[in-house]
Amino acid sequence: MSTLAKSPLMGQMMSRPLLISTVIQHADRYFGDTEIVSRRVEGDLHRYKYRDCHRRARRMANALAGLSVEMGDRVGTLAWNGYRHLELYYAISGSGAVMHTVNPRLHPEQIAYIVNHAEDQYLFFDLTFMALVEAFAPYCRTVKGFVLMAGRDRMPKDSTLPNLLCYEDLVDAAGEDYAWPEFDENAASSLCYTSGTTGNPKGALYSHRSTLLHSYATVMPDALNLSARDVVMPVVPMFHVNAWGLPYSAPLTGAKLVFPGPALDGKSLYELMENEKVTFSAGVPTVWLGLLTHAGQQGRGFSTFRRTVIGGSACPPAMMDAFRHRYGVEVIHAWGMTEMSPVGTACTLRAHHLDLPEDARQAVLSTQGHPIFGIDLKIVDDDGDELPWDGKARGDLLVRGPWVAHGYFRGEGGDVLRDGWFPTGDVATMTPDGYMRITDRSKDVIKSGGEWIGSIDLENIAMAHPAVQQAACIGVHHPKWDERPLLVVQKKPGADVSKEDLLRFYDGKIAKWWTPDDVVFVAALPIGATGKLLKNKLREEFAHYVLPTA
Amino acid sequence: MSTLAKSPLMGQMMSRPLLISTVIQHADRYFGDTEIVSRRVEGDLHRYKYRDCHRRARRMANALAGLSVEMGDRVGTLAWNGYRHLELYYAISGSGAVMHTVNPRLHPEQIAYIVNHAEDQYLFFDLTFMALVEAFAPYCRTVKGFVLMAGRDRMPKDSTLPNLLCYEDLVDAAGEDYAWPEFDENAASSLCYTSGTTGNPKGALYSHRSTLLHSYATVMPDALNLSARDVVMPVVPMFHVNAWGLPYSAPLTGAKLVFPGPALDGKSLYELMENEKVTFSAGVPTVWLGLLTHAGQQGRGFSTFRRTVIGGSACPPAMMDAFRHRYGVEVIHAWGMTEMSPVGTACTLRAHHLDLPEDARQAVLSTQGHPIFGIDLKIVDDDGDELPWDGKARGDLLVRGPWVAHGYFRGEGGDVLRDGWFPTGDVATMTPDGYMRITDRSKDVIKSGGEWIGSIDLENIAMAHPAVQQAACIGVHHPKWDERPLLVVQKKPGADVSKEDLLRFYDGKIAKWWTPDDVVFVAALPIGATGKLLKNKLREEFAHYVLPTA
């Protein structure tokens, strides 16, 4: 794009801002009788319809006004995926305040930091998190009240929380007449902090416009492909980058919503999916391990489950294979990040792939795919020069688009853009036909003798071994090569494999010099609050590890 | 929506305007090797790729700058669906000028009126229209040059046209380095005049924003459902409301494009579809008649054709039935208008319809469906009060949304909105679950004894009769009932049916008093420039018709 010019002639189309409140109004009006089913913290299943959700969201919007929550104020939530959380998504953002979803898996100190940094005015939380909230509440400097997302009967007799309110009391006391305000579509709508594996968490501040454009783009056939015939179960948490936008995109399309609440074990997920006829789900690879293990142990398949989006981390090929070939579930490999709302790319086939042999098609589907329209991306070298799309050149991945952050809340991290592009911190290759493959996080790349070794490739091979539950590959110091790969492995329960056998497993699958120099078996790999492997923890732990080749 | 408020807190997402130039850039970058195939006026097939289209669009943008075309200037086209027309879509709008597609089927006087009203600076035209352009050119007051969309070898030796330029010369002489300008997304991008069956044609002036939002919305699974695996043939002309957005939505998704050029007869369409493996097409009912007749005569089916969108007029159930049951082609019934960019609704099933018996599902699919997200609609009575969604109440259909016009170019028609809603001029019912059915154009409704009779229902029944090619039903004067329905019928070639048999065909299909009072057989029904039945012409013709019941 060159100069910014002003057109002397404006189009004559209605000026209608892109606002989150229009989503729930559309769902009510055109899909009012479509169900939302939620596994509650209380253990039971709750069922109601989009029109009920809209009615209660309007009541909650009135209640927020009664609590003096104003345009732009941040309101925090610590909650599972469920109907009350969905109501808050619309009540808070729709009324012009900012929905701040907090990850309850973070350390209480980190939560207090985030709540203070966001200057949350109120904090809504599920019963599960009562003790957690009591633990960090004394450190919250801006919270005027805590709202327990439950009925009067669940309110504790005594609590250390100052100004503890009851969600259902607020809803009951408020009227259902509420006119959603109209305002600038660039107004802040929601706030989500990065997991902060290094340094303090930083907040991505979404706008109504960015949220709606992201919704339009993710619904498309070559992204999540959502329709009014789908039954959508967001397993990815609503506190994890807005459950990849599903709380917006499902109502927008009229899909039935099924919320698993806190029951994320394989058995609970499986039964809910079967009972509610789930067709589509979304989650990180770690959560699917439990589901696949349960289905495998029971020797049962899926009756209605047809598509799953897997993102958050690269999906191990063995998992893709199990979904696709054992269960007939289409896996859509996606990639994104908190700073991208989060979806940036999704992998689907193009027409010329349809006649390829099965393994060639699977190779395409193992990439992270194309950017969805609105997102542009490029790979660059250290000087910022664009690298060729030859499927080989690895470079820093930069992105831009109307749902990409240009900075962090309250200026944290300073200027983050490089010439108008957001540096993702990922390293990727591009195929000549525009498919992107993440080869590593830039900080996870193993630098051996001046060459790069991709840790993800090495992990994927290990995870294809039948005895391996999960694997991580990190670079450790080597006197001659600077760094060499060390494979850290968590075995499957009851399974066994020797170090030598596992290293032999790499033969012929990869360049000889990429083979890890050593293997260490551990009881469990460190997993972060969003389900990702914490490689920085592993690097700390093995900082002084001496390789046998050293 | 209530008061317009200003948020004190803006989101921190990149400011990226929604511009038409981003579509062709995306197509080039991620689907650069996908083909565009065009049947040319010259008769042959032309093939190239998105990256070639982008390159030549950049050259043409440079050429336009060389011709001193500036931001906001209107540039007219009189052209079939083809690659040069597509290049102009991007070159003109992308460079900030306004793409004005003119319907060559209009009367030359009307064309001159439109070109003068739009103040077109240049006029691009296909070889087909040389004589037409020469006929109206003397009346054009603003056109500085006429560009023949052909190579040097096709340029006429002599022409009455002043400043006649050659398209390929312009492309060849221009450089391919061109940086698409960045400007306000609300800038005018394209101009399309309504067919003007009453009064002078009026221009709908689209913006880049409205065009891109319309593209996102129409690509969704419950609208046109376009993907990178599709081969899209727009049969609906690019001069007819931008071929329903396909010149934008197909490149956006990476679908292969197939343009039929001027060859719209059944045989040509059929052969092109088979040879190029077309999966998706779009057009008005009249054009499909020829295709279905040809396929029927040949006794052949479709190898790859899977979905068609039918709009422009209500699709006769008999045509839907032939596509669905004889050929296995899914029919997506859509509705919209020039003032809506044009798509407003599309009909697809919801989850709860999937288990219905076949005829109940077909009944749902015969409606015009749900508004696509972004569009809201309502039906109102004469006082503007909203009518119930009971499937029975018929009212004036009003719409609003970011791709709906708020007025016409140069203020024609004055204030057209009613309380912020656009009155469509259609009469419709709404089902309780939000499906809209057009029952008539408000001016076509037959008012019999104070009650309304829907002309479309009566026409659909007639067209289900095997001897009927096309039927129109109009109200004619009746001394007692004010108006009574008269059926005007064009028989299929070689087929026959008597007046009495045709009227008996209504028995049991409709309330007795709705049955037409008389039938008139005509050689051909009057069809307008966009393929629609011209009922106002029929009403003029039969203004003094005396019904046998009078």
Q: Give one DSSP letter per residue of B318-366, joined into a string.
A: HHHHIIIIIH-PEEEEEEE-GGGSSEEEE----GGGTTS-HHHHHHHHT
The DSSP string of B5-72 is E--S-B--B------THHHHHHHHHHHTT-EEEEE-TTSSEEEEEHHHHHHHHHHHHHHHHHTT--TT
CA distances from A489 to A309, A502, A526, A536, A541 (A): 26, 10, 11, 16, 14
Beta-carbon contacts of residue B432 (< 8 Å; ≥ 6 apart): B389, B390, B391
Q: Which amino acid is at B37?
A: V
- Predicted confidence at residue B4, as pLDDT, reads 44
3-state SS, residue B111: helix
Q: What is the mean pLDDT of residues B220-234?
A: 98
Q: What is d(CA A140, CA A124) in angstroms, rounded to the nearest whole number?
A: 14
Strand positions, DSSP E, A459-547: 468-478, 482-491, 518-521
Strands A436-441 and A422-430: what pairing? antiparallel
The token pair at A228 is 């009014």
Residues from chain B that touch A181, judged by Cβ atoms under 8 A, are: 1-5
CA A335, chain centre distance (Å): 9
Q: What is d(CA A21, CA B23) in angstroms, rounded to the nearest whole number?
A: 28
Q: Do A16 and B401 form a contact (C-beta atoms < 8 A)?
A: yes
Q: What is d(CA A250, CA A231) in angstroms, rounded to the nearest whole number?
A: 9
Nearest CA in chain A to B218: A220
Tell me which residue of B487, B488, B486, B481 sits closest to B451, measured CA to CA.
B481
B536 pLDDT tier (thresholds 50, 70, 90): confident
Beta-carbon contacts of residue A540 (< 8 Å; ≥ 6 apart): none
Residues from chain B that touch A227, judged by Cβ atoms under 8 A, are: 220-222, 348
Nearest CA in chain B to A72: B9
Nearest CA in chain A to B378: A29
- Record: contact A376-B254, CB cut-off 8 A: no
A194 as an active site residue: the answer is yes
- Predicted confidence at residue B285, as pLDDT, reads 83
Q: What is d(CA B231, CA B278) in angstroms, rounded to the nearest whole number?
A: 5
Q: What is d(CA B78, CA B148) in angstroms, rounded to the nearest whole number?
A: 10
Most B CBs within 10 Å, among A9, A193, A330, A353, to test the B interface: A9
- Predicted confidence at residue A445, as pLDDT, reads 83
- Record: contact B34-A351, CB cut-off 8 A: yes
The DSSP string of A84-119 is HHHHHHHHHHHTT-EEEE--TTS-HHHHHHHHHHHT
Helices within A254-409 (DSSP H only): 266-275, 285-298, 317-321, 358-365
- Predicted confidence at residue A190, as pLDDT, reads 98
Quote the radius of gyration of chain A (alpha carbons, Å): 24
- Can the peptide bond before residue B104 be classed as cis, meaning omega within 30 degrees of 0? no
Q: What is d(CA A503, CA A512) in angstroms, rounded to the nearest whole number?
A: 11
Q: What is d(CA B13, CA A207) in angstroms, rounded to the nearest whole number?
A: 7
- Give a three-class secondary structure readout of B436-478: EEEEEECCCCEEECCEEECHHHHHHHHHCCCCEEEEEEEEEEE
3-state SS, residue A358: helix
B447 as an active site residue: the answer is yes
CA distance A491 to chain B (A): 40
CA A545, chain centre distance (Å): 33
Q: What is d(CA B431, CA B394) in angstroms, rounded to the nearest whole number?
A: 11
Q: What is d(CA B402, CA B212) in angstroms, rounded to the nearest whole number?
A: 10
Residue B278 phi/psi, 5° resolution? Answer: -65, 130
* Closest CB to B11 among A5, A207, A371: A207
Mean pLDDT by 10 residues, chain A (550 residues): 59 97 98 97 95 98 98 98 98 98 92 97 97 96 98 94 96 98 97 78 97 98 98 96 97 98 95 98 88 93 95 81 93 94 96 93 93 97 95 95 97 92 95 93 83 85 91 91 92 92 91 91 86 85 90
- Can the peptide bond before residue B342 be classed as cis, meaning omega within 30 degrees of 0? yes
* Closest CB to A30 among B210, B405, B434: B434
Q: What is d(CA A525, CA A512) in angstroms, rounded to the nearest whole number?
A: 26
The token pair at B478 is 């009746």
Q: Which amino acid is at B119?
A: E
Strand partners, B243: none
Tell me which residue of A116, A98, A99 sits closest to A108, measured CA to CA.
A116
B512 as an active site residue: the answer is no
pTM as predicted: 0.91
CA distance B107 to chain A (A): 26
Q: Which amino acid is at A430?
A: M
Q: What is d(CA A253, CA B221) in angstroms, rounded to the nearest whole number?
A: 9
Residues from chain B that touch A51, judged by Cβ atoms under 8 A, are: none
Q: What is d(CA A406, CA A415) in angstroms, rounded to the nearest whole number?
A: 8
Q: What is d(CA A375, CA A404) in angstroms, rounded to the nearest whole number?
A: 8
Which helix (H) or strand (E) segment holds residue A307: the answer is strand A307-310
Q: Tens digit of pLDDT for each residue in B20-77?
A: 999 999 999 999 999 999 999 989 999 999 999 999 999 999 999 999 999 999 999 9
Q: Measured between CB atoms, does B208 come within 8 Å of chain A? A: yes
Q: Measured between CB atoms, does B264 come within 8 Å of chain A? A: no
- Predicted confidence at residue A198, as pLDDT, reads 59
* Closest CB to B221 among A209, A210, A227: A227
CA distance B218 to chain A (A): 9
Residue B41 phi/psi, 5° resolution? Answer: -55, -35
Q: Which amino acid is at B420?
A: G
- Record: contact A12-B434, CB cut-off 8 A: no
Q: What is d(CA A161, CA A507) in angstroms, rounded to the nearest whole number?
A: 59
CA distance B15 to chain A (A): 6
First to last CA, chain A: 52
Q: Do B438 and B426 form a contact (C-beta atoms < 8 A)?
A: yes
Strand partners, A423: A398
CA distances from B130 to B137, B154, B325, B412 (A): 10, 11, 43, 30
The interaxial angle of helices A83-94 and A21-31, nearest 10 deg, is 130
Tell me which residue of A333, A331, A315, A311 sits closest to A323, measured CA to CA.
A331
In eight-state DSSP terms, residue A154 is G
Indicate which residue of B447, B451, B540, B549 is catalytic: B447
CA B415, chain centre distance (Å): 24
Q: Measured between CB atoms, does A423 come within 8 Å of chain B? A: no
* C-alpha triplet B286, B289, B295: angle, nearest 5°: 155
How many Cβ contacts (< 8 angstroms) between chains A and B? Answer: 291
CA A127, chain centre distance (Å): 23
Q: Measured between CB atoms, does B401 come within 8 Å of chain A? A: yes
Tell me which residue of B241, B216, B242, B300 sits closest to B266, measured CA to CA.
B300
A447 as an active site residue: the answer is yes
Q: What is d(CA B249, CA B245) in angstroms, rounded to the nearest whole number?
A: 6
CA B150, chain centre distance (Å): 26
Q: Tens digit of pLDDT for each residue in B139-198?
A: 999 999 999 999 999 999 999 998 999 999 999 999 999 999 999 999 999 999 986 556
- Record: contact B434-A32, CB cut-off 8 A: yes
Indicate which residue of B128, B274, B412, B452 is catalytic: B452
Question: Any idea which residue has 């193992």 for tokens?
Answer: A366
Q: Measured between CB atoms, does A62 come within 8 Å of chain B? A: no
Question: Any idea which residue has 């070889």 for tokens?
Answer: B127
- Record: contact B227-A348, CB cut-off 8 A: yes
Quote the radius of gyration of chain B (alpha carbons, Å): 24
Most A CBs within 10 Å, among B29, B30, B213, B361, to test the A interface: B30
Q: Do A386 and A380 form a contact (C-beta atoms < 8 A)?
A: yes
Nearest CA in chain B to A378: B29
| pLDDT averaged over every residue in chain B | 93
Q: Which amino acid is at A457?
A: D
Q: What does chain B come to in residues?
A: 550
CA distances from B164 to B134, B151, B161, B233 (A): 11, 13, 6, 31
Tell me which residue of A396, A400, A382 sits closest to A1, measured CA to CA.
A400
In eight-state DSSP terms, residue B545 is P
Q: Do A244 and A218 form a contact (C-beta atoms < 8 A)?
A: yes
Beta-carbon contacts of residue A299 (< 8 Å; ≥ 6 apart): none
- Predicted confidence at residue A1, as pLDDT, reads 38
